[in-house]
Amino acid sequence: MLKAGDRVPEFQLPADNGRSVSSAELAGRRYLLYFYPKDDTPGCTVEACSFRDNLPAFDKIGIAVFGVSADDALSHQKFARKHGLNFPLIADPNHQLIGPMGVWVEKSMYGKKYMGIQRSTFLVGADGTIEKVWESVKPLAHTAEVLEYLGANVKVKKPAAVVEAVKAAVGMVAKAAVGTVTSRAKPAAKPARSAAKPPKPAARRVAAKATASTKVAPKKKAASKPGARQATAAKKSVAKATAAKGARGAKVARKR
């Protein structure tokens, strides 16, 4: 990045109003080049509207103000119309001025690295050399510190767009945070099953009773009647007597 005492490189670039801005035309005048990352973003809107509302203080001490970014002239035109900007916005999509001034740097957001414009402001003297450099400026307080350096005895106005821009920035951060928390949230746990078995339905109890009642009891041996037992015993006695008598007859016959 260029420092105080360095000369501003020669440039001729388009602006939002359809005209061009060149270092040759600005020779012999003091002017301010403030570089910002992107049109119509919260921080850049706050900074631009702050310069807009305090431009009479810069005009009073003869300092011209120019905003510079890598957006094209059409984007600048939309940005200027939307917020009623009253100073030129220089378009430098090819980095003809951004590059030599040294404001195109490596940046980091949420651990991701990328290239972009470092928010910086240069006060250029009438001879084309840099008088003062403000690096990594804060959008809301920057206009006040520039006017203080220039010795302007004025009360810096806070732009009406500041509140809206801050709300927009807070809203963007809140949405990003909610999205992150939602994506990391664990699924709801399944309800625990009860250890006790659920009671059987009434129908199942009735069916179980019916099944139990239909079981057939095992058959018992029929009890023998007393008369039958006596008849059987008599038959056995007769048989024994007959067998004994036959045995004696056979014995007598063998003796003869």
Hey, what domains does the chain have and what are their CATH numbers? 12-180 (3.40.30.10)
pLDDT score for 152: 78
DSSP string of 85-142, one letter each residue: --S-EEE-TT-TTHHHHT-EEEEEETTEEEEEE--EEEEE-TTSBEEEEE-S--HHHH
Residue 32 phi/psi, 5-degree rounding, is -120, 125
Q: Which two tokens stand for residue 54?
A: 């305090």
Q: What is the pLDDT of residues 80-129, one digit of tens each?
A: 999 999 999 999 999 999 999 999 999 998 999 999 999 999 999 999 99
Nearest Cα to 47, choosing from 95, 92, 83? Answer: 83
pLDDT score for 156: 74
Q: What is the pLDDT of residues 154-168, one digit of tens each?
A: 677 766 655 555 555
pTM of the model: 0.64
Q: Are 13 and 24 in contact (CB under 8 A)?
A: no
How is residue 64 annotated by DSSP? E
pLDDT score for 40: 97
pLDDT score for 223: 47
Q: Which two tokens stand for residue 247?
A: 């045995």
pLDDT beneath 50: ranges in the chain: 180-181, 216, 222-224, 250-253, 255-256
Within the chain, where are the H helices? 42-53, 55-60, 73-83, 98-101, 139-150, 161-184, 202-213, 226-255
pLDDT score for 155: 73
Which residues participate in catalysis according to the annotation? 44
CA torsion 138→141→147→148, rounded to 10°? -110
pLDDT score for 235: 61
pLDDT score for 256: 44
Give the separation between CA 129 and CA 114, rounded to whole angstroms. Answer: 30
